[in-house]
C-alpha cells in the first residue's frame, strides 16, 4: 500500500488492488477515513469515517485538496489510465 503523503500524524494511502472512483485512505492515530478525490480537480468528499474527529476531517480535507494533483497522478500511476 503506497503512502502518497504524510501530515499531522496521518498517512494518505492508495491500495493497488482498490476500485474506482479515485479515493484515498487516510490512516493514523488509531483511526481511518476514506475520501473520494474527484480527480482531477473536483471536491474532496468524505465517504467513510472510522473515528476521525470533525476538526481533523476539516484539516485532512484541506491537505488533500492541497495535494490533489499529486494524489490524482499517483492514482493513475498505480491503477492505469482513466
User: Which residue ranges make up each domain of the chain?
Assistant: 3-79
The pLDDT confidence band at residue 82, using thresholds 50, 70 and 90, is low
Asked if the model's pLDDT at residue 34 lies above 60, the reply is yes
Q: What is the pTM of this model?
A: 0.93
Burial call 2-31: b when 16+ CB within 10 Å, e when fewer: eebbebeebbbbbeeebeeebbbbbbbeee
Dihedral of CA 60/63/65/70: which sign?
Answer: negative
> What's the whole-number mean pLDDT along residues 34-60?
97
pLDDT mean over 41-58: 97
- Using DSSP bridges, classify how beta strands 23-28 and 45-50 pair: parallel, antiparallel or unpaired: unpaired
Residue tagged 483511526 (cell numbers): 31
pLDDT at 80: 82
Mean pLDDT computed over every residue of the chain: 95
Amino acid at each position: 500500500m503506497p503512502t502518497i503523503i504524510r501530515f499531522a500524524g496521518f498517512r494518505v494511502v492508495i491500495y493497488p488492488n482498490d476500485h474506482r472512483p479515485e479515493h484515498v485512505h487516510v490512516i493514523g492515530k488509531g483511526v481511518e477515513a476514506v475520501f473520494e478525490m474527484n480527480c482531477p480537480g473536483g471536491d474532496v468528499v468524505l465517504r467513510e469515517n472510522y473515528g476521525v474527529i470533525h476538526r481533523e476531517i476539516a484539516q485532512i480535507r484541506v491537505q488533500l485538496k492541497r495535494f490533489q494533483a499529486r494524489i490524482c497522478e499517483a492514482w493513475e500511476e498505480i491503477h492505469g489510465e482513466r
